[in-house]
Structure 1
Amino acid sequence: MIRSALLAALLLVAGPALAEATRYPLTVHSCNREVTFAKAPERALSHDINMTQMMLALGLRTKMVGYSGVSGWKAVTPALRKELDGLPELASKYPSVETLLNANVDFFFAGWDYGMRVGGDLTPQSLAPLGIAVYELTESCAFVMKRPPASLDDTYTDLRNLGRIFDVQARASQLIEQMQQRVASVQQHLPAQRPRVFLYDSGEDRAMTSGRLGMPEALINAAGGRNILDDIEASWTRVNWESVVERNPEVIVIVDYGEITAAQKQQFLEQHPALQSVDAVRNRRFVVIPYVAATPSLENVEAIEAIAKGLHGA
């Protein structure tokens, strides 16, 4: 047992150091496309807080001209605000083609419904003729292709591919291994019972939430719960309150971001007339996670730890 633990520790240290350097031209899969890089990008733009965080964690700040889609949603944490200091935000919400051209961007890290929209002006197809390569957030591929339910492998895949694209595989491997170890630590102590969980993002007339194709599905599963909407073939989507009541969640996970605070969201749920019979509301069982942790990011681990504690008390 001691020998196995020692070997695992040695592999953790040695693994990243043994990562091979990228050989260009490099071709990677991005959703239902293949993207080829003649060299590592030098003027990258990341969209949204989660993808920006990945780039910074990989040590790619010097390869970035900036980021977009953060301050417009008030989704930045104090820690990340410090990391972003000095890095320009090129658009507070959605960047335009002109935004990218004016900054001479050569690489755009975004996703479907994370800066890009099907049929919109900003897509891999519209940017390719302009010499701008696009890598799509793996979880978001559900908007443009059929794919299995979201999993933590989606986040690991993005880190691994970014590592290859920018020739920082050692750092990517290290981040992935650290995440995997923390997730494994949580799962060692999970009971067999899987409480019913509803994720509440926002919305009053209808609830913005996540089906089986969004990252919350993976987070709830990893934390030992069951997403009450795990039969919905959708990523981020809206549902009627009747569906929530019918499925009777035992715990509600609130995504904290925007002008409406998590406390205000909880108060809305507690006072909603239709939800008074729901177990989570009756027992006041709420878990709060920040937006960045609810979307594919390094903070997925923090979300899993927080949800597991809320579900199982450990």
Structure 2
Amino acid sequence: MTANVNIAIKHTSLLISGALLGLLHAGLANASGYPVTVQSCDRQVTFDHAPKAAVSNDVNLTEMMLALGLQDHMAGFTGVSGWKTLDPTLRNGIGELKELSPKYPSKEVLLGADADFYFAGWNYGMRVGGGVTPDTLAPLGIKVYELTESCIHIMDKPKVSMDDLYIDLLNLGRIFDKEEQAQSLVKGYQEDLTNFQANLTPLKTIPKVFVYDSGEEQPFTSGRYGMPTALIEAAGGKNIVDDVQKSWTQIGWEAVIDRAPEFIIIVNYGDVTAEQKINFLRSNPAFKNIPAVKNNHFVILEYIEATPGPRNINAIKRLAEAFRTAL
């Protein structure tokens, strides 16, 4: 089993999909200027120049923009304070940028900001059939780039991997004429993760992990296409609902009890604190025999760590260390 764990980790750390390699080459090919065309879910979007009044939705997407130094190209951000507290590090990076809407923006909010670009995702600022989508914003002159992890809501895609994050950063680099910065950032993440994994103590067995986002009657969790699955696998574990063909979804508690996770990741955000979620799990007699609950094996990840973004590598490190400290 140890060999299998090591092979899985090595595969995760070295995986660079054909799409990702294509982006690297395409970025170099288009380094001389515009137009550039990027793949956004099932669409191709062409840019004749870098957006000048971009809006990002949610903390993790906003931090991707900040990681590439795109503040001067931004009109503001949306979708943070309505659900989450603005992280101090993120607040410092944002500087003078304003939050245009505490939750998902309307078309009127984006028009009021003279936005020419919206970086969002399905259930990260847009809803299928909602009022703000690539189709509804196109007539207003607002181009949309969709978060790769979220594409599963509208099309088939491969199982989530760290490539989902890398592709988004590389595409943003191309859109905003920051190819070199994006490639350097992605290369740094890849090397950091590979070096970290190479020095990990081998695990005797693969830890079974459950992601608890929220909900008491039915837990909201992350399945095969949600970023936590990629984080768990990169750390050497396995998501117990890896067979659920969703990104973020509700399941029944019976499945959690039956699959007996050895670790529970608590996603921390919103009105219910991580400690309150842990207390709920500890106090319910139905959960007393779940190994993670019985052994107090909880790992708290902030929302910004559990969703695609620059903090994913550190989240993997924390998970990997927790798996090895407890087992």
Q: If the length of structure 2 is used for normalisation, what is the TM-score?
A: 0.88
Q: Do structure 1's residue 171 and structure 2's residue 181 form an aligned pair?
A: yes
Residue of 37, 44, 56 corresponding to 2:47: 37
Q: Do structure 1's residue 114 and structure 2's residue 124 form an aligned pair?
A: yes
Q: CA RMSD in A?
A: 1.5
Q: Do structure 1's residue 55 and structure 2's residue 65 form an aligned pair?
A: yes
Partner of 1:260: 272
Q: In structure 2, give the amino acid aligned to 1:148.
A: P
1:63-101: CA deviation from partner (whole Å, max 9, x where unpaired): 000000011112422211222232100000110000011
Aligned residue runs from structure 1 range 161-310, under 5 A = 161-188=171-198, 189-192=200-203, 193-310=205-322
Tell me which stretches of 4 or more aligned residues in structure 1 moved more than 3 Å.
none
Aligned-partner Cα distance in 1 for 2:218–2:278: 15
CA-CA distance at 1:111 after TM superposition: 0.1
SS at match of 2:82: helix
Partner of 2:107: 97
Distance 1:190 1:180, change over 3 A: farther
Q: Do structure 1's residue 28 and structure 2's residue 25 form an aligned pair?
A: no
CA-CA distance at 1:170 after TM superposition: 1.3
Aligned-partner Cα distance in 1 for 2:213–2:85: 13
SS at match of 1:135: strand
Distance 1:282 1:164, change over 3 A: same
| 1:186–1:223 CA contact under 8 A, matched in 2 | no
Aligned-partner Cα distance in 1 for 2:307–2:209: 17
1:163-211: CA deviation from partner (whole Å, max 9, x where unpaired): 0000011111121122112211232115242100001111110101000
Partner of 2:9: none
Aligned-partner Cα distance in 2 for 1:124–1:91: 18
Count of residue correspondences = 298
| 1:49–1:75 CA contact under 8 A, matched in 2 | no
Q: In structure 2, give the amino acid aligned to 1:79.
A: T
Q: Do structure 1's residue 132 and structure 2's residue 142 form an aligned pair?
A: yes
| 1:54–1:297 CA contact under 8 A, matched in 2 | yes
Q: If the length of structure 1 is used for normalisation, what is the TM-score?
A: 0.92
Q: Do structure 1's residue 69 and structure 2's residue 79 form an aligned pair?
A: yes
Aligned-partner Cα distance in 1 for 2:258–2:179: 46
| 2:55–2:76 CA contact under 8 A, matched in 1 | yes
Give the share of equivalent positions with the same residue, in percent: 53
Q: In structure 2, give the amino acid aligned to 1:52.
A: T
Aligned-partner Cα distance in 2 for 1:289–1:218: 14
Aligned-partner Cα distance in 1 for 2:98–2:86: 14
Q: In structure 1, give the amino acid aligned to 2:84.
A: K
Q: In structure 2, give the amino acid aligned to 1:231.
A: D
SS at match of 2:144: strand
1:34-85: CA deviation from partner (whole Å, max 9, x where unpaired): 1011111100000000010010110100000000001111242221122223
Aligned-partner Cα distance in 2 for 1:130–1:22: 29
Q: In structure 1, give the amino acid aligned to 2:98.
A: P
Aligned-partner Cα distance in 2 for 1:168–1:78: 26
Q: Which runs of 5+ in 1 are unaligned?
A: 1-14
